[in-house]
Structure 1
Amino acid sequence: MSRIKELISWKFLLFIAIAIILTNVPIIGNYFRVVNTVIHESGHAIVALFGGKVHEISLFMNTEGVTYTSHSSWFGGFFTGGAGYVFSSFIAFLSFWFISRKQYKPIIIILLALIGLNLIFWVRNFYGIFWLITFGAAFIFLLFKGTAAIVEHFLLMIASILLVESIGSSFTIFLLSFTQPYSAGDATGLAQSTHFIPAQFWGIVFLCQALGFAIAGFKVGAYRINK
């Protein structure tokens, strides 16, 4: 047990704690939480491009988001509906994977690419544009002017927020699938697409995948990121 305690990175645990506290701060917390919303909605949009069309994405101050798409087949709509939570959980894990290997530029480039796609092609509401410009500017600064320490700690904070939010949002949709199955967002959408598979099943799927990626992210972050 003592050996395990020695291996665990307290830096990782500290930033997870900071992410939990920061995302619960009024106004500023929602601003940072929107990064998960952008990745979630981008997941829907990217999958929709394979045989479908993305019409518009809206991002809101309360951290909600919506992606309007159309599809040429049932399969396109099904995979688009399930992509959001999986994509955000995967990006959270991928961020810790890159950080553990001290490869910071790929994370910045990935996030800037998603921000750029949303800003140029999809997002048209005022708050969404404001968020993309301001957050994008922060990442551009990191890419060209940020010191090694600032880049590492800022990205570690973003990765921690993504991990916390991917679990939190999946848990919320899991609860809604049981308490309000007809108003449970993507779980309801998938239930309507599959007809015989209820929203509760999809709520469980979303939660399980989030926990799976979170465990993988914890193993990478807690044991490989420098203390």
Structure 2
Amino acid sequence: MSKIKELISWKFLLFIAISIILTNTPIIGNYFRVINTVIHESGHAIVALFGGKVHEISLFMNTEGVTYTSHSSWFGGFFTGAAGYIFSSLIAFLSFYFISRKKYKWLIIILLLFIGFNLVFWVRNFYGIFWLITFGAAFIFLLYKGTASIVEHFLLMIASILLVESITSSFTIFLLSFTQPYAAGDATGLAQATHIIPAQFWGIFFLSQAIAFAAAGFKIGSYRISK
């Protein structure tokens, strides 16, 4: 049993290594990293729908994204601002959860729902539409034509990218919250919203939750993903 677990662990680590190499490859790396941007911005948008409105989402080639929302209350704006990084970490964890139980179809459908909602309702810039159509087409192909092996390994790669990006993006905000607290994205926004809780606290919070979800994903990926 220990040897089996060791082999499984190595498979998980192999895909993490592949995802790190892939996401750092010029041009194509950014293309794959946008999947995390879509999840992140969708997190903002979904939470904003509860008592607010989503106006537009923009996705860019450099992996940056912007969600334009309005809210009827302070609480709506606060939770919308906090949702992005948490959502990215949660979906990364759930991806490994579904893969570990061989629920590949369910995971593809969930990711297609994110893509579909963004394409139909929110994203309007050219690159964003291009990315959603091309990546969505790849998932549709997997859903109907992909072999079990191809589907599993492609989804493992996507889950690994989401896991790596959830940590690296949170780490970037963590660093910015200390070096540039007035230009640290969501951490700055939450600091401005609360007035008394500084950006550094939110940088630490975002990084901590990312590590916690990553640890849970690592446990699942190391000991429950077979073959």
Separation of aligned partners in 1, 2:4 and 2:177: 37
Q: Tell me whether 1:216 sits opposite 2:216 in the alignment.
A: yes
Using structure 2 for the length normalisation, give the TM-score.
Answer: 0.97
- The aligned residue for residue 40 of structure 1 is 40
Separation of aligned partners in 2, 1:155 and 1:192: 38
Q: Which runs of 5+ in 1 are unaligned?
A: none
Cα-to-partner distance string for 1:13-38 (whole Å, 9 max, x where unaligned): 11000000000000000000000000
What is the count of residue pairs matched by the alignment?
226
CA contact (8 A) 1:57 1:123 kept: yes
- The aligned residue for residue 86 of structure 2 is 86
Shift of 1:6: 2.9
Shift of 1:9: 2.4
Q: 1:157 is aligned with what amino acid? A: M
Q: Tell me whether 1:145 sits opposite 2:145 in the alignment.
A: yes
Q: 1:39 is aligned with what amino acid? A: I
Cα RMSD of the aligned pairs, angstroms, is 1.2
1:27–1:52 Cα change, 3 Å: same
Cα-to-partner distance string for 1:122-145 (whole Å, 9 max, x where unaligned): 000000000000000000001111
Please give the residue correspondences for 1:1-227 in structure 2 after superposition, counting only pairs within 5 Å: 6=6, 8-227=8-227
CA contact (8 A) 1:9 1:226 kept: no
CA contact (8 A) 1:44 1:83 kept: yes
Separation of aligned partners in 2, 1:64 and 1:142: 27
Separation of aligned partners in 1, 2:54 and 2:31: 24
% identity of equivalent residues: 87
Cα-to-partner distance string for 1:136-171 (whole Å, 9 max, x where unaligned): 000000111111001000000000000000000000
Q: 2:30 is aligned with what amino acid? A: N
After TM superposition, where is structure 1 displaced by more than 6 Å over at least 4 residues in a row? 2-5
